[in-house]
């Protein structure tokens, strides 16, 4: 009978430790259970738009024909960047879901391409490099930045 009591105490201690660990993990997680994760949908959207632009020869040509001295440029700041291709901007905005806000930016391929302004939100970014078409070799990076509204 004495040996059974020892095992019962060990099982009780183990269950108590599991309960405490569960409560601690919930507090560490800080309420993540209630949040919805949209990252997969956002990245899928960004990849599809970038792929569409990458495979369209006329859109590639517009990006490649931007003069080097005009780079970098953002899509939403047309006062400062009037050379940003309207067709690229339209392609991104017409495909943007209603729950997202997006900006696109064209940079030199070898440079870091980041937003000019700071946003205190979760920003999802994807990029492609457009290097050449049949007549022009002028590598540039097209990057899309999206965040939830």
Q: What tens digit of pLDDT does each residue of 61-97 get? A: 999 988 888 888 888 765 555 778 888 888 988 989 9
Residue 138 forms part of a structural domain: yes
Residue 15 forms part of a structural domain: no
Q: What is the pLDDT of residue 34?
A: 58
* Out of 73-77, 97-101, 139-143, least confident range: 73-77
Q: What is the pLDDT of residue 81?
A: 59
Residue 26 forms part of a structural domain: no
Rounded mean pLDDT, 15-38: 79
Q: Strand, helix or coil at 106?
A: strand
Residue 140 forms part of a structural domain: yes
Q: Strand, helix or coil at 145?
A: strand
C-beta separation of 103 from 75 below 8 A = yes
Residue 23 forms part of a structural domain: no
- What is the distance between the alpha carbons of residues 125 and 23, in angstroms, rounded to a whole number? 35
Q: Strand, helix or coil at 137?
A: strand
Closest CA to 103 of 77, 141, 71: 77
Pick 105 or 116 by higher pLDDT.
105
Residue 65 forms part of a structural domain: yes
Number of domains into which the chain is organized: 1
Range of the domain at 108: 38-148
C-beta separation of 147 from 133 below 8 A = no
pTM for the whole structure: 0.72
Residue 13 forms part of a structural domain: no
Rounded mean pLDDT, 96-101: 90
Report whether pLDDT(50) > 90: yes
C-beta separation of 126 from 145 below 8 A = no
Task: Give 77-86's long-range contacts (Cβ < 8 A, gap of 24+).
Answer: 77/116, 85/59
Instruction: Quickly count: other Cβ atoms within 10 Å of residue 113's Cβ.
Output: 18
* For the ranges 46-50, 70-74, 133-137, the one whose mean pLDDT is highest: 46-50
Residue 12 forms part of a structural domain: no
């Amino acid at each position: 009978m004495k040996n059974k009591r020892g095992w019962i105490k060990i099982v009780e201690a183990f269950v108590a430790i599991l309960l405490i660990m569960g409560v601690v993990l919930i507090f560490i997680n800080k309420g993540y259970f209630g949040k919805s994760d949209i990252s997969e949908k956002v990245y899928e959207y960004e990849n599809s738009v970038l792929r569409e632009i990458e495979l369209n020869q006329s859109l590639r040509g517009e990006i490649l024909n931007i003069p080097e001295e005009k780079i970098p440029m953002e899509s939403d700041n047309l006062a400062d960047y009037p050379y940003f291709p309207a067709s690229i901007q339209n392609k991104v905005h017409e495909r943007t879901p209603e729950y997202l806000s997006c900006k696109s930016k064209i940079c030199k391929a070898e440079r870091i391409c980041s937003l000019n302004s700071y946003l205190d939100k979760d920003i999802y970014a994807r990029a492609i490099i457009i290097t050449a078409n049949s007549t022009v070799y002028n590598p540039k990076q097209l990057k899309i930045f999206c965040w939830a509204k």
